[in-house]
Amino acid sequence: MAKTIIVSNRLPVRVESNEGGELNFVSSEGGLATGLGSVYKKGENIWVGWTGYYPKSLEEELIIGDYLKKENMRPVALTMKDVKLFYEGFSNKVLWPNFHYFPQYVEYNNEYWEAYKKVNEKFCNELVKYISEDDTIWVHDYQLLLLPELIRERFPKISIGFFNHIPFPSYEMFRLLPWRKELLNGLLGADLVGFHTYDDMRHFLSSVSRLAARSVKEQHVENGERIVLVDSFPMGIDYDKYANSAASPDTIAQEVLFRTSLQGKRVILSIDRLDYSKGIPQRLIAFEAFLKKHPEYLNKVSLVMLVVPSRDNVEQYIQMKNEIDLLVGRINGQYGMMDWTPIHYFYRSLPLTKLSALYRIAEVAWVTPMRDGMNLVCKEFIASKLDKKGVLILSEMAGSAKELSDAILINPNNLNKQVEALHVALTMPVEEQIQRNEIMQTSLKRYNISHWVDVFMNNLTKIKKVQKSLEIRRLGENDQNVLIKEYNNSHQRLIFLDYDGTLTHFFPKPDDAKPDAELLDILKKLTEDPRNHVVIISGRGRDPLEEWMSGLRVSMICEHGLWLRPIDGTWKKLKDVDDDWKEEIHPVLDSYVSRTPGSFIEIKDYSLVWHFRKVELGLGELRSRELTSHLKYMARDRHLQVLEGDMVVEIKNFEVNKGAAAKRWMKKNPADFYFAVGDDWTDEDTFGAMPDSAFTIKVGVQNSKARFNVESVDDVRALLKKLVS
Ligand code: GDG
């Protein structure tokens, strides 16, 4: 039976051994573990990952294995060396700082990279023990970026989703990594790649198009044989868990204890894992400035700061811990009183009851990371506010700021704004607090963790269906045999061949579109057969094609069907079309050329083309969209058509198209075998004009009117070679 396998670096359980050598299994209370519980605990489904423990004997290994098996989990065994180089090294000293925009902390260490590859392979080797081809695999987070591709190599058809829990950096940051291409290719082994925010997804797509040489169309990456969907899935929390915990008698009893100790002081709350991305020292400096600027709050407001120990064997973390200790000491030393501690600082982890009591007691949650994939603390605070009173101050740099726009949003680098935000929060009228929190609570309830899991899984199913629908149309072995048989049995064949992107590679050098020896040989053999009538049907002007095809027995349709030339004949115009419009449109194109270095205008007899293939990547696409909408407006009353092709925008008369020309050709040259192949949407008109029995083939894996798809120019050539052999 098909099953779902979750994979992450750590399992949702931690194994520890106590002093007596007895093993303890501590379940994770994290949101991800809860959310995915609905998935991995069902039926045959499993979660694969590391336990965080190095078994000391075979016996321990067996005990752990048995326990995990009952809980639908499977372990991946990591050695101390693996953890040092792969986890502490590549994951936390390369990917983490780069992805959080701290390039100065990155250690470009090849040994880390080798270990990262090795451990990703280790995960794959463990997984293959459990996988079958109809399973669904959901891989989590930056420690396993290479895993999707590794699984794909062994299971080409399997469903793979990947979710990145931390930010994906902009191209400018990501390209600093020497292993950038391998990392992208690793991810593109998935069918669905998910991020918390639209910006992360945009950054990823930009890196893919620039660094991985893959074609990106909106949210889809064409990965040779598959379409990969990239989307944003903002992760939610287990809302009811935090709301219920806040309402529980234990939490309320704990709150009373806290309140008694605080002696009526108002509370600002700060909770983070120890990490430079969380902005903890910056927050302390802002608190110091706040006390200085607003002495009216002295002895009235305390900052309760919970810092959860993390990665404290890494140099930057040790330094930051020291910095925090110093700052807390300095501020408490300067402002503290016998009956007031400005900062209550805890460097440890607290149980959920205490955490919930803190959420209840806090008037203000101060969540100001320098960069954060999402940040769940701010969401948990809002869910815990049963009376809807309380104010959230949230950094714009957290993914959650995109959803929680009713919080006070601030830039954590802006000290004055941080100070001002604290003052605004502490003086916000209760009605306004309730109003803001109501909106945020409604949204957090709806977009909770199980919603997140469902939406991700549904999208994975959806993209798989799209892939399957394309697969059905793929020109397979059997279709080829039918095609060849019908070709051989026919007496009069009409063969329409688009040129650029179909017979020759458009990329990387469209200027070198001249036919090479292989293509000339194919065309020669194809045209030598007296039963074949070959028509090159192209958007190009007449001159280059006439030159390149000289000596071959081919007909030609140029400029999308404006000009027709039968075999050995002379050029004829499809119809008299007006070209007065050029005088008006040319200056518009000129203005785009002068603003866009590298672009140029091609003047065809009855069309104008603005080329941008030599323009800086990104800028050309931007200008072409602008130009297209500019021209579409002008085109409406002038009976013109604006075509967006590969790195071109072409303007021509409406009545000229490849379909009309192909129809006319077929009428004059009836045949018992029709064949048409093309790669872009101007060829869709040709496909549409063909009889149902025709063999119409689209190059590329997009939807098309054609009956079949092939992947590349090489496939077209291979097919034509089979026909002439
Ligand atoms: C990564 C991304 C993204 C904290 N202290 C205690 C405690 N916590 C819990 C919180 C919260 C979790 O830890 C922290 O989650 P965050 O989302 O804030 O941060 P990261 O750990 O860095 O997580 C992040 C997340 O992945 C999910 O995709 O949001 O951006 O960096 O749930 O409640 N829990 C308990 N005691 C504590 O002392 N019980």
**Which range, of 15-19, 402-406, 505-509, averages the lowest pLDDT?**
505-509
| pLDDT class of 297 with cuts at 50, 70, 90 | very high
**DSSP state, residue 699:** E
Q: Name the E strands within 284-342.
A: 301-308
The pLDDT value given to residue 508: 47
Co-location of 155 and 245 in the same domain: no
Co-location of 433 and 530 in the same domain: no
Cα atoms found within 13 Å of the Cα of residue 189, Cβ hemisphere only? 24
Indicate whether 574 pLDDT > 90. Answer: no
Provide the CATH number for the domain around residue 649: 3.30.70.1020
What is the rounded average pLDDT of the residues 633-648?
A: 84
Edge-to-edge strand ranges of the sheet holding 73-75: 73-75, 46-50, 4-10, 136-140, 159-163, 192-195, 226-232, 220-223, 215-217
Co-location of 207 and 352 in the same domain: no
Indicate whether 509 pLDDT > 80. Answer: no
What is the radius of gyration, based on Cα positions, of the chain? 32
What is the rounded average pLDDT of the residues 662-677?
A: 94
The pLDDT value given to residue 634: 84
Q: Which among 609, 635, 653 is the end of a domain?
A: 653
Provide the CATH number for the domain around residue 114: 3.40.50.2000
Ligand 1, residue 235: give the atom nearest the CA: 28
Indicate whether 652 pLDDT > 80. Answer: yes
Instruction: For ligand 1, atom 26, name the residue with the nearest CA.
Output: 165
Ligand 1, residue 349: give the atom nearest the CA: 38
Instruction: For ligand 1, atom 23, name the residue with the nearest CA.
Output: 375
Co-location of 639 and 685 in the same domain: no
pTM of the prediction? 0.83
Co-location of 413 and 512 in the same domain: no
What is the rounded average pLDDT of the residues 233-258?
A: 96
Co-location of 561 and 598 in the same domain: no
Co-location of 382 and 518 in the same domain: no
Co-location of 395 and 352 in the same domain: yes
Indicate whether 92 pLDDT > 60. Answer: yes
Co-location of 524 and 624 in the same domain: no
Share of residues in the chain with pLDDT > 90 (%):
78
Q: Which of 238, 498, 500, 683 is catalytic?
A: 498
What is the rounded average pLDDT of the residues 540-555?
A: 91
Co-location of 539 and 645 in the same domain: no
Q: How far does residue 383's CA lie from ligand 1's centre (Å)?
A: 15
How far is it, in rounded angstroms, from Cα 677 to Cα 697? 5
**DSSP state, residue 616:** P
User: 528 CB less than 6 Å from ligand 1?
Assistant: no
User: Is residue 552 in some structural domain?
Assistant: yes
Range of the domain at 560: 477-575+656-724
User: 424 CB less than 6 Å from ligand 1?
Assistant: no
Q: Amino acid identity of 313?
A: N
Q: Which among 634, 653, 672 is the end of a domain?
A: 653
User: 352 CB less than 6 Å from ligand 1?
Assistant: yes
How far is it, in rounded angstroms, from Cα 417 to Cα 408? 10
Q: Name the E strands within 262-400.
A: 266-273, 301-308, 343-347, 364-367, 391-395
Quick one: which of 373, 352, 375, 351 has its CA closest to 365? 375
Provide the CATH number for the domain around residue 486: 3.40.50.1000
User: Is residue 673 in some structural domain?
Assistant: yes
User: 714 CB less than 6 Å from ligand 1?
Assistant: no
User: Is residue 68 in some structural domain?
Assistant: yes
User: Is residue 465 in some structural domain?
Assistant: no
User: Is residue 522 in some structural domain?
Assistant: yes
Q: Which among 211, 232, 253 is the end of a domain?
A: 232
User: Is residue 459 in some structural domain?
Assistant: no
Residue 127 burial (CB count, 10 A): 23
Co-location of 219 and 354 in the same domain: no
**Which range, of 158-162, 310-314, 684-688, averages the lowest pLDDT?**
310-314
User: Is residue 76 in some structural domain?
Assistant: yes
Q: Amino acid identity of 387?
A: D
How far is it, in rounded angstroms, from Cα 5 to Cα 133? 12
Alpha carbon 304 to chain centroid distance?
A: 37
Instruction: For ligand 1, atom 27, name the residue with the nearest CA.
Output: 165
Cis omega (within 30 of 0) for bond into 508: yes
How far is it, in rounded angstroms, from Cα 287 to Cα 373? 24
Query: What would the two tokens of residue 213 be?
Result: 């040489």
User: 457 CB less than 6 Å from ligand 1?
Assistant: no
Q: 3-class SS at 222?
A: strand
What is the rounded average pLDDT of the residues 102-123?
A: 98
Helices then strands, each counted (H, E), the chain: 26, 29
Per DSSP, what are the bridge partners of residue 83? none
User: Active-site residue 529, yes or no?
Assistant: no
The total number of structural domains that make up the chain:
4
Co-location of 173 and 220 in the same domain: yes
User: Is residue 607 in some structural domain?
Assistant: yes
